[in-house]
Structure 1
Amino acid sequence: MLEELVNESALAGLDETAYHVRLKEIEEAIEAAESSDTLARTLSSIALSHRDWHVRRIAVTTLSKRFVDSPAAREAVCSATHDDVDWVAFSAIKAVHETKIPEAVEHLIRISGWPSNFSRPGYARKPVGCGAAFTKQALWAFFGTKDPERLRVLEDEHFAAMRASVAAGHREPELSDAVPVPGGPCILGSGRRDVGPFQMDDGDNPLRAVDLPPFHIDRTAVTNRRYARFLEDVGGSKEFAHPDEPAGKDYTPAHWREPRFNDPDQPVVGVDWYDAYAFARWAGGRLPSEDEWEKAARGRDGRVYPWGDAWDPERANGVHRAYGVESPADLEELEALLVRTTLEWPPEPVLPADSLPAGASPYGALHMAGNVWELTRTNFFTRADMSPFFKGRRSSEFMNRPEAFHVLKGGTWTSPPVCMTTFYRGRDLLTDRHNEVGFRCVYEVKEQSG
């Protein structure tokens, strides 16, 4: 009976009078229905996903009155505080005001902020609407006081277990094979404007001085051996996943079974931005920003390559080494060489991550010119941190969206010297998994006490 009454297509076809009669019938049917786990689950689903907001509102109100002990019902009511229709959200906020569901507190704080702040006399704020007003009253009711100092104590007590859980899950970074990069100013970008034989200029990365805080960066790109430990440790867990990570994401690299790319000492390749993000969190770090990567590669003096300003083919693995030829003279020569690539040739494109020490950066980081491109957390077009929002969509639906492209740095085994400069900016779609792309992590420097 209830399923027929709440049928979305049937509701949409009613005129205004019949529609409001139907809403009344829905309320009466729910009220007459016997309380059960099945009804609680049905109403929870309706509260979260029904197309008609009045039906969602009715479900939320009923859940808070009759099923407050049901975990599914409580979760649905909490989620409904963020419904995109005001009176569904308001109904949920008023419901948690009355029921004082503890887990709703963090949802309410997202709406209005910490009560210990907005309860302070003279707290700077602008006039707000119904939602914020309802939320403030609900928070004050939950904690049983408006005194800001007492609220601060009660907030700490309420979130103590959550904070302890977060702290317990935090991984301390392993810095034994990371190198420190001191804080301070550095020269980034390039002042060159000639396009050269490869028809490229450096106008998208202008010469500039940047002041960065200190950090540590992996001495080498993340290796297959190290990535294997990550896979073994996380299993099917999504503890370290980005919120936008595609459903059913498998962190296994695309080229995990290819002999040319799966030696334990080689950089891991065939990973996408989401894989690298999860690994970095697991490792207690994060992906570098473009500026952090560039400073780690070139030092403070704005050098063209990690070792200096003059190209030296012996210090990097690019197209010249991987293909066993002299560096192509122009784009036509490069492309003529690259189209000969097969699943077997070149036979040894990628070197071990710990090789070519003469090509180290001023801070001791290896292969920051060539071998594999390296992912960053920087958006290619905006230069802000990546903030993807594509979950549930195929890559073909966002492959032309600027928000979907991150910066690549350093060049790879198919690159000519011009792409292996410290300032060159490559880009890639965040879901692409190439045998030319790897990554390394950076780690925060903890403040010294005393």
Structure 2
Amino acid sequence: MALIPAGKSQMGSRQSLLELRPHDLFNTDRHTLGPENPAHEVFLDAFYIDIYEVTNAEYRKYIDATGAKKAPSLENPNFDGDQQPVAGVSWKEATAYCKWNGKRLPTEAEWEKAGRGKRPIKYPWGDSPPDSDKLNYNEEKMKTMPVGSYEKGKSDYGVYDLSGNVSEWVHDWHYPEYYLFSPKENPQGPEKGQYKIIRGGNWRNTADYVDLTYRNATTPSQKSNGIGFRCAKNASE
């Protein structure tokens, strides 16, 4: 795991949603695609986050130990490699895995800080545009890649695949205007909601949807070969 030190970092973007996502001009669903502005500063206590997305091999150990249901990625030859990220697990299943492992899902704020650090950059590697040397996106591979495959795409804290490969469940419930009133210290998201936030683009997404401020959400029961997760824990634990 990577230690993310306590301190301030920026969340969100100063650009409007339509400036960021021009293709959503006529089809944006405000209930699942929340505004990424206003940009705002938050303070987070120190925490640890997994350097890599949880893999199929790691999830198989969990299944063997607990009798949990198999993830769809374990039964698809394009997605079942030991070092490919587990995909097709619900928010509840991801939460249960992290808990079994003595961890939890990262908050939305923690996830973004792991990618941006102290810099208000657009991507984990900086502000240069995405390309196939930095991430798995735009259906170039038509499948997930082994975690940690993109050395040039890791963040300043050494965290891999925060852009591309699989999108990732985080702890928070979704509310479109949450950034307007979120706490300035250790935000945890709304207390309740209908949808859970997923962060980071995946192997299918175009360049418009792989930056660190991109917010999407879906029902907690959703399962997709484009959604996986990683775990986190408090530094004090």
Task: Please give the range of the TM-score, normalised by the shorter of the 2 chains.
Answer: 0.7 to 0.9
Given residue 371 of structure 1, which amino acid in structure 2 is its aligned partner? N
Q: Percent identity?
A: 31
Larger helix proportion of the pair:
1
Contact 2:12 2:40 in 1 (8 A): yes
1:432 aligns with 2:222: yes
1:227/1:311 CA distance change after superposition, 3 Å: same
Give the gaps of 5 or more residues in structure 2.
29-33, 179-187
Which secondary structure state, in structure 2, belongs to the residue aligned with residue 255 of structure 1? Answer: helix
SS in 2 for 1:404: coil
- Alignment partner of 1:189 is 2:8: no
**Aligned equivalent of 2:47:** 215
Say whether 1:226 aligns with 2:58: yes
Counterpart in 2 of 1:315? 134
Query: d(CA) in 1 for partners of 2:231 and 2:21?
Result: 33
Q: 1: distance between equivalents of 2:216 and 2:152?
A: 24
Distance in 2 (alpha carbons) for counterparts of 1:404 and 1:386: 11
Q: CA deviation at 1:203?
A: 3.4
C-alpha contact 2:36 2:213 (8 A) present in aligned 1: no
Partner amino acid for 2:62?
F
* Counterpart residue number, 2:24: 199
Distance 2:114 2:37 in 1: 16
Give the residue type in structure 2 aligned to 1:321: E
Q: State the TM-score, normalized to the length of structure 2.
A: 0.86
Deviation at 1:311, TM superposition (A): 1.0
Q: Does 1:276 align with 2:94?
A: yes
CA distance in 1, matches of 2:52, 2:202: 14
Q: Which has the higher contact order (CA 8 A, sep 6+)?
A: 2
1:417-428 aligned at under 5 Å gives the runs 417-428=207-218
1:381 is matched with which residue?
A: 175
The aligned runs of 1:255-404 (5 Å cut-off) are 255-313=73-131, 314-319=133-138, 321-322=140-141, 346=142, 349-381=143-175, 384-385=188-189, 403-404=193-194
Contact 2:175 2:190 in 1 (8 A): no
Gapped regions of structure 1 (runs ≥ 5): 1-177, 236-249, 323-345, 389-402
Q: CA deviation at 1:386?
A: 7.1
Q: Distance in 1 between matches of 2:157 and 2:210?
A: 18
Q: For 2:21 and 2:39, locate their aligned partners in 1 and report how far apart those are by CA, in whole Å.
A: 18
Q: 2:126, 2:217 → 1: CA distance? A: 24
Output the amino acid matched with 2:235. V
Structure 1 position 195, deviation (Å): 5.1
Amino acid at match of 1:212: L
Paired amino acid for 2:85: P
C-alpha distance in 2 between matches for 1:444 and 1:407? 20
> Considering only CA atoms, is the larger Rg found in Structure 1 or Structure 2?
1
Deviation at 1:204, TM superposition (A): 3.7
Aligned equivalents of 1:223 and 1:408: distance in 2?
A: 18
Distance, in Å, in 2 between the alignment partners of 1:279 and 1:432 is 16
- Distance in 1 of aligned mates of 2:169 and 2:190: 11
